[in-house]
Amino acid sequence: MGANEANGRIAPLEMAPEEFRSLGHRLVDQIALFLADLQKRPVTPGETPAQVRAVLGNDPLPERGTAPETVLEEAWRLLVDHSLFNGHPRFAGYVTSSAAPSGALAELLAAAVNPNCGAWTLSPMASEMEAQAVRWIAEFIGYPARCGGLLVSGGNMANFVGFLAARRAKAPWDIRSEGAGAGSGKRLLAYASKETHTWIQKAADLFGLGTNAIRWISAGSDCRVDSSELRARIEADQADGGQPFLVVGSAGTVSTGAVDPLPELAELAREYGLWFHVDGAYGAPAAALPDAGDDLKGLVEADSIALDPHKWLYAPLEAGCTLVRDPQHLLDAFDYSPVYYRFDADAEERPINFYEYGPQNSRGFRALKVWAGLRVAGREGLCRMIADDIYLAKSLYQEVQAHAELEALSQGLSITTFRYVPADLDRHDPAAAAYLNQLNEELVHRIQKSGEAFLSNAVVQGKFALRLCIVNFRTTQSDIRALPEIVIRLGRETDAELR
Ligand SMILES: *Cc1c(COP(=O)(O)O)cnc(C)c1O
């Protein structure tokens, strides 16, 4: 610090309150207009990476600063003209939701207060609000509210936390000190259906078990795990000197929204003394619906659940959540309590230090947008949005069946898969199978680039499918009714070029 500044430091990143007020008001006005007109924009400009990079430019790190007004204005233009909008009513691609506008405001507030939600002392109210949000999420889906839990960045991380809790709880040796390979030849084994999301490969790899520690169990034509194969596999591995420790069930698979028979898996895991983890990153919130099926409601029996507030609770990215039936299992898996973190030395009651419950140390206040969204919608409002999403996906399934050039393939939760079949081709003809896959693969790219609507893809019983997934409170019946025409028009166009 120069001597001249010693008594009146002017930091380049400080901002006078009047400037903050006027820049903030302007930005909020721009965002309000953007949200009002969102449906008039294309879902995506469909640009190539080279086009996007050319717009951004290739300047080196600037030596000198730029006025925040200019920086924000530029960021605004770059983003509104060159983004894909998952909050657009016709975005129905991946499991990425429209974001509650209240969440955007909550993020601003969270960043302004900037509590460090690693330690209670550094974030007294924020930590309590996170604990409350976690409790509300548990109550929402029917999980015991005395459970432990915390927010993480997303579904992958939320599943990792469950995986690590399971590993610590079920390895018969001290895995945290000795490592995953210390079982004197006994290999830790995890069981999951072939429809399980790729987080499980990352977990097995990252945490030292290796992906061969995953026992892939077949899924039936309904994409649900085959529980008799699961039982047989566990028994064979136990007889063979393996160390089964984890059964994973999906509450809504990422491809088709299939729900595994969770009560049956819970029973099986209990019988063999294994941890039962439910990946509910997508579908767990649907367990709150009054008409949820017993298979889905069975997630309450899990030892741990991963779910994603940034999916079906409509929080802006990022927010994942892990719930663990017994909070002690998180402490067992993550706590070290070193002397330099004696935050609670003279506390009467042990406060919640989230760094002891998960992998992160410093933690942001991602809980605020989640907490706010849960309050703004309430249980009733959340259920209504989720039920509407499911209703719309089902109504597309019905629409599709009415069109000779479309073939409905699957329907689960708010995911519908289908494909385009040219009028002169027989969908059952084996000779046409490869071409139909190629055609629909090209078609999904074309739909995505068109900006008219955004679908993704899945493979359903060997068929390349278009996949609609609605976790979007802006999608309406008229958006759904518009889809068959778009798909058929672009499908005919693609077919004419490919054949
Ligand atoms: C999205 C998803 C994940 C991964 O969650 P992220 O938030 O993308 O990390 C895991 N499992 C399922 C079933 C999902 O739908």
Asked whether residue 395 falls in the same domain as residue 344, the answer is no
pLDDT at 345: 55
pLDDT at 2: 60
Residue 77 placed within a domain:
yes
pLDDT at 184: 82
pLDDT at 339: 62
Report residue 195 CA to chain centroid gap.
16
pLDDT at 305: 98
CA–centroid distance, residue 253 to ligand 1 (Å) = 9
Asked whether residue 80 falls in the same domain as residue 199, the answer is no
Crossing angle (nearest 10°) for helices 430-450 and 477-498: 120
Asked whether residue 128 falls in the same domain as residue 51, the answer is no
pLDDT at 158: 98
Asked whether residue 310 falls in the same domain as residue 411, the answer is no
**Probe target for ligand 1 pocket from 156, 161, 223, with the most ligand atoms within 8 Å of CB:** 156
Residue 185 placed within a domain:
yes
Residue 104 placed within a domain:
no
What are the distances in angstroms from CA 417 to CA 255, 289, 352? 9, 23, 44
Please work out whether the CB of residue 95 comes within 6 Å of at least one atom of ligand 1. Answer: yes
Q: Specify the CATH number for the domain of residue 422.
A: 3.90.1150.170
Q: Which domain holds residue 321?
A: 115-364
Q: Closest Cα to atom 3, ligand 1: which residue?
A: 155
**Probe target for ligand 1 pocket from 163, 195, 311, with the most ligand atoms within 8 Å of CB:** 311
Asked whether residue 448 falls in the same domain as residue 392, the answer is yes
Query: Mean of the pLDDT values across residues 2-11?
Result: 71
Residue 108 placed within a domain:
no
pLDDT band at 348 (very low <50, low <70, confident <90, very high): low
Tell me the β-bridge partners of 192: 216
Q: Each residue of 350-383: pLDDT tens digit?
A: 799 999 999 999 999 999 999 999 999 999 999 9
Please work out whether the CB of residue 89 comes within 6 Å of at least one atom of ligand 1. Answer: no
Please work out whether the CB of residue 156 comes within 6 Å of at least one atom of ligand 1. Answer: yes
Q: Which residue, 364, 397, 421, sits at the end of a domain? A: 364
pLDDT at 139: 98
Asked whether residue 269 falls in the same domain as residue 246, the answer is yes
Q: Specify the CATH number for the domain of residue 162.
A: 3.40.640.10
Please work out whether the CB of residue 155 comes within 6 Å of at least one atom of ligand 1. Answer: yes
Rg (CA), the chain: 25
pLDDT at 347: 58
Does 448 have pLDDT greater than 80?
A: yes
80: left (phi over 0), alpha (psi -120 to 50) or beta: alpha
CA–centroid distance, residue 155 to ligand 1 (Å) = 4
Residue with tokens 């429809």: 195
Does 5 have pLDDT greater than 60?
A: no
Asked whether residue 460 falls in the same domain as residue 395, the answer is yes
Query: Mean of the pLDDT values across residues 1-18?
Result: 80
Residue 279 placed within a domain:
yes
pLDDT band at 340 (very low <50, low <70, confident <90, very high): low
**Probe target for ligand 1 pocket from 254, 296, 322, 389, with the most ligand atoms within 8 Å of CB:** 254
pLDDT at 412: 97
CA–centroid distance, residue 313 to ligand 1 (Å) = 13
Query: Mean of the pLDDT values across residues 139-156?
Result: 97
Asked whether residue 160 falls in the same domain as residue 297, the answer is yes
CA–centroid distance, residue 284 to ligand 1 (Å) = 11
pLDDT at 6: 60
Phi then psi for residue 475, to 5 deg, are -70, 135
Query: Mean of the pLDDT values across residues 65-84?
Result: 97
318 Cα nearest atom in ligand 1 = 7
Please work out whether the CB of residue 282 comes within 6 Å of at least one atom of ligand 1. Answer: yes
Does 341 have pLDDT greater than 90?
A: no
Query: Mean of the pLDDT values across residues 65-89?
Result: 97
308 Cα nearest atom in ligand 1 = 7
Contact 275, 166 (CB under 8 A): yes
pLDDT band at 75 (very low <50, low <70, confident <90, very high): very high
Asked whether residue 345 falls in the same domain as residue 249, the answer is yes
156 Cα nearest atom in ligand 1 = 9
Round to whole Å and give the CA distance between 249 and 354.
26
pLDDT at 469: 98
High-pLDDT (> 90) share of the chain, %: 93
Residue 479, C-beta contacts closer than 8 angstroms, at least 6 positions apart? 89, 90, 92, 392, 453
Q: Closest Cα to atom 6, ligand 1: which residue?
A: 155
**How many structural domains are present in the chain?**
2
Does 196 have pLDDT greater than 90?
A: yes
Does 26 have pLDDT greater than 90?
A: yes
Residue 249 placed within a domain:
yes
CA–centroid distance, residue 93 to ligand 1 (Å) = 13
Q: Which residue, 297, 330, 364, sits at the end of a domain? A: 364
Q: Which residue, 316, 336, 364, sits at the end of a domain? A: 364
Query: Mean of the pLDDT values across residues 449-463?
Result: 96
Q: Each residue of 259-288: pLDDT tens digit?
A: 999 999 999 999 999 999 999 999 999 999
Query: Mean of the pLDDT values across residues 177-181?
Result: 93
Asked whether residue 285 falls in the same domain as residue 387, the answer is no
pLDDT at 350: 78
Contact 414, 420 (CB under 8 A): no
Residue 372 placed within a domain:
no
pLDDT band at 185 (very low <50, low <70, confident <90, very high): confident
pLDDT at 8: 80
Asked whether residue 355 falls in the same domain as residue 498, the answer is no
pLDDT band at 91 (very low <50, low <70, confident <90, very high): very high
Residue 494 structure tokens:
């693609």
CA–centroid distance, residue 282 to ligand 1 (Å) = 6
What are the distances in angstroms from CA 397 to CA 62, 88, 380, 409, 491? 52, 21, 26, 8, 18
pLDDT band at 246 (very low <50, low <70, confident <90, very high): very high
CA–centroid distance, residue 470 to ligand 1 (Å) = 15
CA–centroid distance, residue 337 to ligand 1 (Å) = 31
Residue 371 placed within a domain:
no
197 Cα nearest atom in ligand 1 = 11
Q: Closest Cα to atom 12, ligand 1: which residue?
A: 281
Query: What does the mean pLDDT of the chain come to?
Result: 95
Please work out whether the CB of residue 93 comes within 6 Å of at least one atom of ligand 1. Answer: no
pLDDT band at 148 (very low <50, low <70, confident <90, very high): very high
Asked whether residue 354 falls in the same domain as residue 420, the answer is no
CA–centroid distance, residue 493 to ligand 1 (Å) = 33
